[in-house]
Structure 1
């Protein structure tokens, strides 16, 4: 009878092919999607605690691992060579535990490994032809010390604390007697014991190694084995069902690991992602494994495509194709016009510049929610058309804007359901039909014969024309359409120039088009505009003009006017920066340095102010300044040559010297054009600093277009720049040439970015010199007065930045065992947004409450993770937070009872609105609080019915000291009548 190798001995089988986890070297797929399993503990404290969920685990050996997506899972096994610093991607248990494990092959070594040439003599005993690797004799002299000293120790020093040991059964390729096998097993046991002696906090996960468990189970955190139902033959690159005999044997081993040794047992199966019905087969296989009581994970044989487990990751990343043409990606149309649309839909995006970067190959399904392109008319990228066709064929939705970007031919268009048409006849094109819900959003479509792409939907194609044009000869053209593979909207029907203006209007409704073209599911959206159901309010100030004299009696410094009239008077949490080159004794104004530093120290001593740097030499054009062409692009500081370390670390150190004990500066505000190259962004991130500025959101009633709303930020070279939510006074005053009261128009910007869609928080962003002229001072007062009259949650700039960074790494996955969505948002982002018409979910894990808002319902979270599912049928309604002016945390829920912490930033009174089915009482820090009639503008929910129609009571509370400027934590306890 033929046999196959199995850890723990030989098992009968109907085939002779070897199935095991592959080495990462064989993976040739650039992108992947990994599926996991849920593991979030319950929050109820007065009810029986549910049985702990098993840990979620992922395996990804390819280059450029999707580290943001992998944060959905408790453990992700990756190739350590592709992750320089695993500590940067860990997450504390309170924030939704996540840990990276390093893939380490114990039983084999590939010749491409850096340590291959220095292996101890005599340690190699044959080859594994299927993977091109050499098999190691575990009992060879010197191998144990070499493995621990040369393989493990460097990884430990780099921060790895979890290790997945692969190929533990490879010794069976040469050990052909019981004594030989026992010798190999004893050697591996010795290695594992010595590992734990050296690294008692280290964690080990084994691939098989069942025969070792009687001796090493207490040292191990989990056991994995592959091919329970579906296997992969690496030598033949073929997928096959696992024979029943093998399945029975492996089930027994996994069951023993789980029941006898109390270890999580992971079954990894393989499905061909290119086969018809692969997705359904993967889900069905995962369900069978789960029904057996094991942790499922089903992926392709090379670990380079979509996988399915108990938890199925729902991708929220979009690949955006642009042509930078040598310019910074900040200037690309895809970034300028699509960024905020994608963000508002809950999507993060990666910009790929076709001018500099090759298109990614391999299977992209599962890693991306879609591909979006914005090409310029006349651009031709020969590889783009076939590449997009392959993406469509594998099920990745594609949305094309403005131009195709490739030369169409019928062979390429046919599988897309398109056909070429003759060029239009001379004369005027007529609109034959259009979808009025999607076309004609901010501007009516104006057919332009010279810009038309002569395409039409093929007869019978499963598609819907959004805009059909006809010429005088009866030829028809589809300039925009929703198709089976996505959709397109071609020039000039994406955006349209406004005659006589320097901005554009949307012709297509971008949110609706993207939602339909990419077939986006109705998922909760991580939201960075709102906290506690209230729009956030922040203030941040660039240090320019700190030394300017104000044009008021006595000519005080503008910084003194800012301090007394705005920081002291309005008491809003503020992020205030200075430019070291202006303030320091070695800077431009040494004679004024002492006075200016004294003002800065007074400002920074206030509890509602956090310090930031606005650089050392204030580069005006970052790209030009970094070429060090002289002081034309920065301040003319004597003897200074631009140096990024000096600009960032040096200026931060200077500012920290101005701060009182207990305060440190953590925010770097970009200067000048606010278009830093990737190297400058990296300089801030590598040293743990947050960065902000740029983006240029300037929508007003006279420039009323969504093309004037910038995204939340931009990623360059893997580093993320966070944009300021709104623009400063420089734009509204025509580069500070007047009118100097012009900044008051930012109120229009606040209003237009708050409704009918809440795109942005409120950000009062200005330079210190705005406090230097009577007109600009008056404008600032009007802005502040408008802002403080709004029902907001006040936040520091640093808090907003962290929320945006959390947005970039937030994950959403579906738990197939419960049907819930598992959302991990990170430590700072505490709001999810649902469409207003969507049914409210149950008050499950991590959900503190709901608040109706512009075209949406805002879910307030109580922590870094939440489980979202429908309310249980017949469940009694429970009290929840309908509104709060701070962050909710440490929530505990019981029958008729709610307890949580509310953290309020320097806003004076704490505010709470509680919705409940019955009368409730509230105590704050152990003291009872009486409900109040909400004052005008103080609460957002006063004129609205409770979000949950089952509620008949909403109570409003105010507490704390109106004069408090400190960030305050309140312990709230709610008790409701039965």
Structure 2
């Protein structure tokens, strides 16, 4: 909200034509800290706001500030609640309960009433009725606005002094009651001599560019007003040593508004202050000392009553968007409206997927409005036009008549169209659109009929691009499969004009593909078809868990094991086996539910035993299925272990309410997705995304699928699961879409054929150069991917990446220049991989310096490979010594690039070991630096181990 002083000064703005030539003080060399953002709109982009140290939001728009975003390890981020001290609107829930006599006059520009700070009972009301509920809800930071509104009615020195005394008393009492609260004020300069020690920062509006709410207009700030405010902010910064924040405003509808916001932010920073530049309502992702580089897409679709996980938008586009580095928010037009407001700066682009017959007349006009504001878009299938409707002219597309004759291909971009399936013109399915003559677009697929009418079935446009049906995916009904006609990643990258940013990567750690294993508990009590007929769970224990000693997350179904379940006669024996399994140091426990719902939507609708195990006397209850089953498993565990992991059961398609319940119960969740690609079904349409978000709640998909899909739903052939090796290979090269996940049910240890297949799978996976992780570690990396932020420092050009507490890898294109290793912070090294280079991070927040002109300095050491997570990285001043910690699940492995280097582990010098297998791809890196390979730690250990390392290199 505009402060009182600027409202008065705006009258002067009307008399001036513009700013004087130079308003900037000498530029400062380092960024003022902290970085600060303000967002008062509905549905604040909490993940993106987490790029800032402080983000001020309207608290009514945040359900729980404690879980609003996953904070990066070592990164400072806190949400501040907006609280108006001097004014109140009638729509505030506490308005009717204000103490009598609190209101004095009004502020017509903002439709609010002004508070008399001296009114009896106001201070206690403010702290009890406004602040206390926020504190109880988890808010620990507060932005105190409208501190100077009393000037609208206090006209004498005595009146103003009484108001300032009351404000000082209010802030003092605030900190007395809540000593851990962090406070930022909007102006209140006259209060600083008495409250500076109680607050954490001071903000002021309109240093360079202002906004007048009364006229809804934007204008430059007069030089004299700028100079006065700059002097006040310098006092804040230099005398009181507090962060000084300047909030300025740029018209989002003006041409090149984003560029204007960047320039305004740079001028504020040149004055030595912390900038935030956005729209007048502070309802958009503006520009601050850093600018968030959007890595989230808005995915528009119509589910037609399907679960979102089964829609074409999710099935076909999920992994493509993820590989490009994009998380995505799905808008299901069958259930919700299109979002309005300012999307630029928040989303990297709009992606739409509509199937035939979809009709949403609001979509095309909305798309035209958003693209006119600068948003890029990619449309698949059709534009959801109702019959007879026209597209808005600004989209640059014309509807062409046709006589229905046979179509032929006039032109085709072979690099994009005809990717996995040929282009097959089908007159009955083609939508008769063409690029307008002045559209500025480029056709990717042009068809013609006998009368020389032409149709552009796919094209890049001035605002993005589109691919019309049937040239998105080709349905192969005979084998119930699909093939991409368009090359989706190349199309999306160009249509959305995606920046060449580092991609947070969940497939790789330390430059090595990750290997995990997780087991669903089905068949724990079944008998194996081998001599002695032991329980399948015992066979699994001996043949796989004890023999291969891989990190494995094993789940059980309480309703199968417990005495109150469906197999009470075997409960004592199977619980004993479960205890032995969970006692293994390489086993992580998980729940596979209480009654194993087969169809989650049906089971929740029915609640009876039809769609789940028939556990005696049980009516389905989500809390019992989730936390209740986890508590049961915790009773089977040895001291020091517990489970907070849940594996979805049955169809693995839980409704939003079930996913929400899992998170509310504090459980990580996994399963679902259906990655089925094999040599005979070799299509990217068979690769699932990393997960799906339903009504804001995220379900993490299993990287690969279990034996069921390779054995015709466990009807045979039972050795068929060995084909999952094909899936591992095809999701590893030529693009590394997935880690390796050995995922099976316990009953895979019940038949000779499936046991043999599992041995072949384990043997193949064990021979690969991998980093071994647990399912929980993978889940957390996917969650970090969803909330990771990338921002650019507006002064230095550095990229600030907050990847999260668990994600430790960024992926670059193979020909992309590397960041300057010497000047970057938290960058441990890099490794060449399939169609990529992988950057190994050593912290949850890293700063990547712009690339150097000719590659890395030749003598600067770095980590070429590691089989775990790197942390606590410290590089000496000359760059030739590195100290760090390696956390690995078992023995350690490091490949060090650098000339004449030595390695100490836990204080003991190590000699390089011979390169075996495919651990390191070359003896030298691209700059001819030698790569030495080291292995260390007890060979047979499986425990998570932290190694302290030191690398020293000669001059």
Question: What is aligned with 2:400?
Answer: 421
Asked whether the equivalents of residues 72 and 805 of structure 2 are also in contact (C-alpha less than 8 Å), the reply is no
After TM superposition, list the pairs within 5 Å mapping 1:624-663 onto structure 2: 624-663=602-641
Matches of 1:615 and 1:629 in 2, distance apart? 15
Instruction: State the number of aligned residues.
Output: 935
Does structure 1 residue 469 correspond to structure 2 residue 447? Answer: yes
Report the Cα distance in structure 1 between the residues aligned to 2:410 and 2:499, rounded to whole angstroms: 31
After the TM superposition, which of the residue ranges 112-121 and 922-931 deviates more from structure 2? 112-121
2:148 is the counterpart of 1:150 = no
Q: CA deviation at 1:499?
A: 5.2
**Aligned-pair Cα RMSD in Å:** 1.7
Deviation at 1:113, TM superposition (A): 1.1
Greater mean deviation of Cα atoms: 164-173 or 359-368: 359-368
The alignment status of 1:889 with 2:871, answered yes or no, reads yes
Match of 1:879 among 849, 856, 861: 861
Match of 1:919 among 875, 885, 900: 900
Distance 1:444 1:201, change over 3 A: same
SS in 2 for 1:247: helix
Structure 2: how far apart are the matches of 1:95 and 1:720?
A: 24
Once the two structures are superposed, the pairs formed by residues 15-30 of structure 1 within 5 Å of their partners are 15=13
Distance 1:403 1:190 in 2: 62
Residue in 1 that maps onto 2:892:
910
C-alpha separation between the residues in 2 aligned to 1:522 and 1:629? 49
Structure 2, unaligned runs of 5 or more? 16-28
In structure 2, how many angstroms separate the alpha carbons of the residues matched to 1:554 and 1:534? 41
Could you say which residue in structure 2 is the equivalent of 1:179?
A: 158
* TM-score for the superposition, normalised by structure 2: 0.96
Partner SS, residue 881 of structure 1: strand
1:256 aligns with 2:235: yes
C-alpha displacement of 1:408: 8.0
| Structure-2 residue corresponding to 1:6 | 5
Aligned partner of 2:597 in structure 1 is 619
Deviations 1:243-276 (A, max 9, x none): 2221111111111111111111111111110011
State the secondary structure of the residue aligned to 2:459: strand
Conserved in 2, the CA contact under 8 Å of 1:445 and 1:493? yes
Q: Structure 2 vs 1, CA of residues 164 and 5 (structure 1 numbering), >3 Å: closer, same or farther?
A: closer
Q: State which drifts further: 414-423 or 443-452.
A: 414-423
Aligned to 2:90: 111
Does the 8 Å contact 2:187/2:204 carry over to 1?
yes
CA–CA separation in structure 2 for the residues paired with 1:357 and 1:386:
17
Alignment map for 1:43-54 (pairs within 5 Å): 53-54=32-33
In the alignment, the residues of structure 2 paired with residue 672 and residue 535 of structure 1 have an alpha-carbon distance, to the nearest angstrom, of 29
Report the equivalent of 2:18: none
Q: Does the 8 A contact of 1:545 with 1:769 survive in 2?
A: yes
Q: Cα distance, 1:325 vs. partner?
A: 1.3
Equivalent-residue separation in structure 1 for 2:693 and 2:327 (angstroms): 10
Partner of 1:194: 173
**8 A Cα contact 1:425 1:473, kept in partner:** no
Tell me whether 1:457 sits opposite 2:435 in the alignment. yes
2:26 aligns to what? none
Cα distance in 1 for partners of 2:614, 2:892 equals: 47
CA distance in 1: counterparts of 2:389 and 2:381, whole angstroms: 20
Q: Could you tell me how far 1:414 is from its partner in structure 2? A: 2.5
Aligned positions of 1:346-745 closer than 5 A: 346-407=325-386, 412-426=391-405, 428-498=406-476, 500-745=478-723
Unaligned runs of 5+ in 1: 18-49
1:558 and 1:769 in contact (8 A); partners too: yes
What corresponds to 1:933 in structure 2? 914
CA-to-partner distance for each residue in 1:526-583, whole Å, 9 max, x for gaps? 0000000000000000000000000000000000000000000000000000000000
**Distance across 2 between alignment mates of 1:518 and 1:910:** 42
Q: CA deviation at 1:871?
A: 3.8
1:4–1:15 contact (8 Å) kept in structure 2: no
Q: For 1:277 and 1:484, how far apart are their aligned partners in 2? A: 16
Aligned to 2:107: 128
Residues 4 and 799 of structure 1, relative CA distance in 2, 3 Å threshold: closer
Q: Provide the rounded CA distance (Å) in 2 between the counterparts of 1:631 and 1:780.
A: 33
1:549 match: secondary structure: coil
Q: Is the 8 A contact 1:410 1:420 kept in 2?
A: no
Contact 2:784–2:806 under 8 Å retained in 1: yes
1:716-742 Cα offsets, whole Å, 9 max, x none, are 011000000001000100000000000
Question: Does the 8 Å CA contact 2:70/2:784 hold for their aligned counterparts?
Answer: no
SS at 1:540 equivalent: strand
* Counterpart-to-counterpart distance in 1, 2:111 and 2:894: 64
Aligned partner of 1:31 in structure 2 is: none
Counterpart CA distance in 1 for 2:403 and 2:468 is 15
User: Do 2:37 and 2:288's aligned partners in 1 also have CA atoms closer than 8 Å?
Assistant: no
User: Contact 2:72/2:804 (CA < 8 Å) preserved in 1?
Assistant: no
Deviation sequence 1:63-114 (CA, Å, 0-9, x none): 2111111111111001111212211136668431110001000001111111
User: What residue number does 1:899 align with?
Assistant: 883
Partners of 1:378 and 1:597 lie apart in 2 by 53
Task: Give per-residue Cα distances to partners, 1:323-355, cap 9 Å, x unaligned.
Answer: 111221111110010000000000001111111
**TM-score, normalised by the number of residues in structure 1:** 0.94
Secondary structure at the counterpart of residue 412 of structure 1 = coil
SS at match of 2:147: coil
- Write out per-residue CA displacement over residues 174-226 of structure 1, whole angstroms, 9 at most, x where no aligned residue: 00001100110010001111111111111110000000001111111110000
> Counterparts of 1:659 and 1:616 in 2: how far apart (Å)?
17
Deviates more, 1:513-522 or 1:319-328: 319-328
What is the match of residue 233 of structure 1? 212
Describe the shift of the 1:944–1:337 C-alpha distance in structure 2 as closer, same or farther (beyond 3 A). farther
Deviation readout 1:768-799 (Å, 9 max, x if unpaired): 00000000000000000000000000000000
Deviation per residue, 1:611-667 (Å, 9 max, x gap): 000000000000000012521100001111000011001100100000000101011
* 1:20 aligned residue: none
For each residue in 1:687-725, what CA deviation from the matched residue of structure 2 results, as whole angstroms up to 9, or x when unmatched?
211000000001000000000000000000110000000
Matches within 5 A, 1:321-360: 321-360=300-339
Q: Does the CA contact (< 8 Å) of 1:4 and 1:12 recur in 2?
A: no
Structure 1 distance, partners of 2:371, 2:70, is 35
Aligned counterparts of 1:317 and 1:411: Cα–Cα separation in 2: 30
**Aligned partners of 1:726, 1:892: CA distance in 2, in Å?**
37
- Inter-partner Cα distance in structure 2 for 1:714 and 1:899: 39
Once the two structures are TM-superposed, the CA of residue 943 in structure 1 deviates from its matched residue by: 3.5
Report the Cα distance in structure 1 between the residues aligned to 2:500 and 2:141, rounded to whole angstroms. Answer: 36
Deviations 1:886-919 (A, max 9, x none): 000010011210010001113xx31100011x21
